A and B are shown apart, each in its own frame.
Chain A
């Protein structure tokens, strides 16, 4: 069975601090996808990144960076120099990669509050 664990329920940081959101996953599949989404108060899910299981390269996009470590089954997300607009709930998710459509399995989310 697939499972995503986001152990940090809530995190509060002061603006300009760096913050890392943890994500640990479980799957028996050798091919899978990992995702991060941002959910602001409006509720809409904002796509941040998708990574397939064969690509362990870390990725940087502006102030965002992701560290994918298959050895520890982790896909952590770091925001550098956090801003108030980063305040939201962040979800890590996992899906199989099959021919056919498969749903995402979400972690419980981490609520990030960035204080000015």
Chain B
């Protein structure tokens, strides 16, 4: 089946630095990818929708200048946490849906997630 690969799985960075997280669809093209954030013992909350070749759409309350999303190809979306602070420490997970010939999306695939710790 289709696979979404996310890298790195775990990162520790110093406060004020930037961190880039990659999300790749390995055997299908994803014109749209989604980025979620999960704080400890909480649910997955959609942060933004990443669209290939155009600007990402951010959910209310998510700072677009802090969480930069680039979707430059049909198989790669990146999330950059700029000037990270301890409150940005969280589990970030990407997702892509494979749209078959029917044009109606069905499958939803998730990356392995990235655990970000800002110290």
Residues of A at the B interface (CB closer than 8 Å) are: 33, 35, 37, 43-45, 47, 50, 52, 91, 93, 95, 97-109, 111
Asked whether A106 lies within 8 Å of B108 as measured between CB atoms, the reply is: no
B108: min CB distance to chain A, Å = 6
26 contacts between A and B (CB under 8 A): A33-B106, A35-B108, A43-B91, A43-B93, A43-B112, A43-B113, A45-B93, A45-B110, A47-B109, A50-B106, A50-B107, A91-B43, A97-B106, A98-B105, A99-B99, A99-B103, A99-B104, A100-B105, A101-B30, A101-B32, A101-B99, A102-B105, A104-B34, A104-B44, A109-B43, A111-B41
Q: Which of B34, B91, B103, B105 has the most CB of A within 10 A?
A: B105
A33 CA to B109 CA, complexed, in Å = 14
B53: min CB distance to chain A, Å = 14
A103 CA to B105 CA, complexed, in Å = 10
A61 CA to B44 CA, complexed, in Å = 25
Contact residue range for chain B?
20 to 34
Told that A95-B108, A100-B99, A102-B105 touch, could you supply 17 new A-B pairs with CB distance under 8 A? Answer: A44-B113, A45-B93, A45-B110, A47-B108, A52-B106, A93-B108, A97-B104, A98-B105, A99-B105, A101-B97, A101-B99, A103-B34, A104-B34, A104-B44, A104-B95, A104-B108, A109-B42
- Among B96, B105, B108, B112, which residue has its beta carbon within 8 angstroms of that of A44? B112
